[in-house]
Structure 1
Amino acid sequence: MDVTIAGALTQVLLIEDVSQIGYARRTTQKLAEQLGFNEGDAGRVALVTTELASNLLKHAARGELHVQTVPGKTGVGVEILAIDRAGGFDREACLTDGFSTRGTQGIGLGAIARQAEVFDMYADDRGAVLLTRFYAGGQRNADLRFGASQHSLHNDPACGDCWQLMLSSNGISALVVDGLGHGEEAERAALAGRKVFASMPFAAPQDLFQDMHQAMIGSRGGAVAVAQFNANSDSLRFTGIGNIGANLIGPEKLRGLTSHPGIVGVQYRKAQPFDYAHVNGNLLIMYSDGLQSRWNLRDYPGLVHRHPAVIAAVLHRDFCRGRDDATVLVVALEATHG
């Protein structure tokens, strides 16, 4: 199985008033229909969107729905995340039909979990993140264990960050590029690097970075990081130029991944890779400098065991600087047998 996943901006739908629920429902239903979902599957997406938005208003007074397409093993699905900064709630209790904190019928979250192919959530006193993913035909085995949250500064349609994943039967290659600054020129630099990566994601790092450098000359240039996971050798090779942050998080330790100074497309001394052993089952987290680096998953008990998309959303919610484009990519390192 070879799957190429090219990142795109996360669409943010504010939910602050009951009048916004209908717009959110129509937006996600239309997206599902554009992806070829039949009437029944698109209806499930619309129903869950309504429940998620309604729950944000009932339990948190306000929040956001983050919407994007998400490639799976057998086609493209729809991802909807409900995100709030309220006081959180009890996961198991809220999933039980009949439970309600507001005296209502209380069937929302249980129904959501049954309607979606993927459902996961994390809640604490900082707020809650609920993940749903949908695939045409109700294919519950279609999901891939990654998550990403990509946002441009001031909701600019151009984003200087980009990311991409290539999944093969025996490995994963992940890219994050942060073009200098933001806006159209930063985006042009980032996309030039991504185009090269897409053609040779598992190439030797020195060759890959040299080709990306050549492609980005004449642009602003940018920070670039590539992580190549080899399932056969249970190892990860990481190569970074500039300020892309990266961590490997295992059951017993966290390893920060080292980058070199420089700007791809402008000037850097060398693209020396670093190898890390015994990484199967670890989480790989890569992020642009639009995200603060002072986070620690140990401050979020149990979050490391949640779906990568939930982790990405929590980190963006709590650590986005708000003064640059911001991207966080979370990948579960495991063999992806087709």
Structure 2
Amino acid sequence: MESSLDGASGLAGGTHRSFEIGDASSVAFARRGAAQAAHLAGLDATDAGRLAIVLTEAATNILKHAGHGELLVRALERGVELIALDRGPGIADVRAAQSDGHSTAGTPGTGLGAINRLSDQLALWSQPGHGTVLRVLVQQAGGPRPARPAPEIGGVCVPYPGEDVCGDGWQAQADPGGFTIAVADGLGHGAQAHVAAAAALEVLRKRPGLTPGALMELSHAALRPTRGAALALARFDLVRSTVSFCGTGNISAVAYGTGKPNHGAQGHGATPRSSGGSGGSSAADTPGDMRSSYQIVSRNGIVGHTMRGTQEFELAWRDSGTLILHSDGVGTRWDLDAWPGLAHQSAVVIAAVLYRDFSRRRDDATVVVVKAQPGVQLTHEHAFAAHPH
């Protein structure tokens, strides 16, 4: 038995559609995009109406408080995900801001309060001087409400500006012993890059449960008719509490709060990572400490064309573990400590902040975050409960 965990459909196969918010006309354009996502997700008129209000309030908040920002919209299987991003002054009291009637801008204060009431899930991170990230989910009425998964999996995937399809892609796939995360970056951008990335993800869908090295070899054969891709594969073994990784090309991978890499695997696959992402000694080397981080090394090459073997290795997956994967459309010189409290936020909020602050804006951009849930012992059943959150 296997299960797809990405839970996404529509909008270029699960990618986010980006809307720049700078004036009233841009809000109207984003609202039309959200209506299309609502149709793809099968929302009825009432739920689509809720989504329209949520989007309008989120966009209006950006204009009032930050002046400029971005909305990301993604159609899911039974709902629509909306992520609002800005680099405005931030919110000093996040809890108070979510209540009806709260305002710091001389307005009625219906924005975040209305969003909180009308959405099915809400996550908000904001700090003075660091802007705001708001993630909401509007689902079909009467549909199942997903429990908080263990682990959390969250992703942001945005096409090259002006493209209708994304040359990046990501997938989470469960199997009886665990689950595997794949991030693929087709060479270049546009339709042909999308074909290459999709071909890599299809290998994982068809052959879940294989080791990352075996999946990499199969992907290399499958991508020969395409222009090729960079590919990273991470398999979470829920029996042994380990993560096995194999990468080819320039997909970045950083593990926080895990055990040291198993050097008994096929070579040395990870190095301590200093703040700023430049390598060197980590801030701390205590197993399970969130400050302990490792830059995971991929081999050079292009899957489907020039791949000189594979390299696979393991890390212990602890209940404080976080794995962050991203394509080269996102810069590498980031440090979670630079954003107060961000490391303790949900996986998708972490992914959204990294995208907001480090997307190069001249390529497809993808960030995927996997977070363990402290105190939750992973089982086979958890693999099938996990999904982007």
TM-score over 0.5 for the alignment?
A: yes
Task: Name 1:3's counterpart in structure 2.
Answer: 4
Q: Which 10-residue stretch deviates more, 160-169 or 320-329?
A: 160-169
Q: Secondary structure at the match of 1:155?
A: coil
> Equivalents in 1 of 2:248, 2:217: separation in Å?
12
Task: Name 2:82's counterpart in structure 1.
Answer: 80
Residues 86 and 132 in structure 2, CA contact (< 8 A), matched pair in contact too? yes
> Equivalents in 2 of 1:47, 1:168: separation in Å?
39
Residue 292 in 1 paired to residue 331 in 2? Answer: yes
Return the structure number with greater strand share. 1
Residues 37 and 73 in structure 2, CA contact (< 8 A), matched pair in contact too? no
Alignment partner for residue 26 of structure 2, among 20, 42, 51? 20
Q: Which 10-residue stretch deviates more, 114-123 or 169-178?
A: 169-178
Do the aligned partners of residues 195 and 290 (structure 1) sit closer, same or farther apart at CA in structure 2, a change above 3 Å counting? same
Q: Secondary structure at the match of 2:102?
A: coil
Task: Name 1:317's counterpart in structure 2.
Answer: 356
Residues 167 and 364 in structure 2, CA contact (< 8 A), matched pair in contact too? yes
Do the aligned partners of residues 104 and 158 (structure 1) sit closer, same or farther apart at CA in structure 2, a change above 3 Å counting? closer
Alignment partner for residue 111 of structure 2, among 108, 111, 117? 108
Once the two structures are superposed, residues 246-291 of structure 1 have per-residue CA deviations (whole angstroms, 9 ceiling, x without a partner) of 1122234222222122221112222121101133442221111111
Q: Please tell me the residue identity of whatever aligns with 2:247.
A: G
Residues 236 and 279 in structure 1, CA contact (< 8 A), matched pair in contact too? no
Alignment partner for residue 64 of structure 2, among 24, 37, 58? 58
Q: Secondary structure at the match of 1:232?
A: coil
Task: Name 1:166's counterpart in structure 2.
Answer: 173
> Equivalents in 2 of 1:131, 1:37: separation in Å?
18
Residues 235 and 243 in structure 2, CA contact (< 8 A), matched pair in contact too? yes
Q: Secondary structure at the match of 1:324?
A: coil
1:127-276 aligned at under 5 Å gives the runs: 127-137=131-141, 139-142=144-147, 144=149, 145-168=152-175, 171-250=178-257, 251-276=290-315
Q: Secondary structure at the match of 2:14?
A: coil
Q: Which 10-residue stretch deviates more, 267-276 or 144-153?
A: 144-153
Task: Name 2:272's counterpart in structure 1.
Answer: none
Task: Name 1:306's counterpart in structure 2.
Answer: 345
Q: Which 10-residue stretch deviates more, 5-14 or 51-60?
A: 5-14
Q: Please tell me the residue identity of whatever aligns with 2:333.
A: R
> Equivalents in 2 of 1:259, 1:96: separation in Å?
46
Do the aligned partners of residues 69 and 333 (structure 1) sit closer, same or farther apart at CA in structure 2, a change above 3 Å counting? farther
* 1:62 shift after superposition: 2.0
Structure 1: 4+ residue segments shifted above 6 A: none
> Equivalents in 2 of 1:259, 1:4: separation in Å?
24
> Equivalents in 2 of 1:167, 1:86: separation in Å?
39
Q: Which 10-residue stretch deviates more, 111-120 or 18-27?
A: 18-27
Q: Please tell me the residue identity of whatever aligns with 1:159.
A: C
Do the aligned partners of residues 84 and 169 (structure 1) sit closer, same or farther apart at CA in structure 2, a change above 3 Å counting? farther
Identical-residue share of aligned pairs (%) = 39
Do the aligned partners of residues 64 and 234 (structure 1) sit closer, same or farther apart at CA in structure 2, a change above 3 Å counting? same
* 1:27 shift after superposition: 3.0
Q: Secondary structure at the match of 2:161?
A: helix
* 1:235 shift after superposition: 0.9
Do the aligned partners of residues 118 and 151 (structure 1) sit closer, same or farther apart at CA in structure 2, a change above 3 Å counting? same
Q: Secondary structure at the match of 1:154?
A: coil
Residues 232 and 248 in structure 2, CA contact (< 8 A), matched pair in contact too? yes
Task: Name 2:287's counterpart in structure 1.
Answer: none
Q: Please tell me the residue identity of whatever aligns with 1:18.
A: A
| TM-score normalized by the length of structure 1 | 0.91
Q: Please tell me the residue identity of whatever aligns with 1:108.
A: G
Do the aligned partners of residues 85 and 77 (structure 1) sit closer, same or farther apart at CA in structure 2, a change above 3 Å counting? same
Task: Name 1:93's counterpart in structure 2.
Answer: 96
Do the aligned partners of residues 76 and 284 (structure 1) sit closer, same or farther apart at CA in structure 2, a change above 3 Å counting? farther
Q: Please tell me the residue identity of whatever aligns with 2:141.
A: G
| TM-score normalized by the length of structure 2 | 0.79
Residue 283 in 1 paired to residue 318 in 2? Answer: no
Residues 44 and 140 in structure 2, CA contact (< 8 A), matched pair in contact too? yes
Residues 300 and 307 in structure 2, CA contact (< 8 A), matched pair in contact too? yes
Residue 67 in 1 paired to residue 70 in 2? Answer: no
Once the two structures are superposed, residues 38-80 of structure 1 have per-residue CA deviations (whole angstroms, 9 ceiling, x without a partner) of 333222212211211111111112222110023xxxx532100
> Equivalents in 1 of 2:86, 2:321: separation in Å?
27
Task: Name 2:130's counterpart in structure 1.
Answer: 126
* 1:240 shift after superposition: 0.6
> Equivalents in 1 of 2:38, 2:130: separation in Å?
31
Task: Name 2:261's counterpart in structure 1.
Answer: none
> Equivalents in 1 of 2:346, 2:306: separation in Å?
37
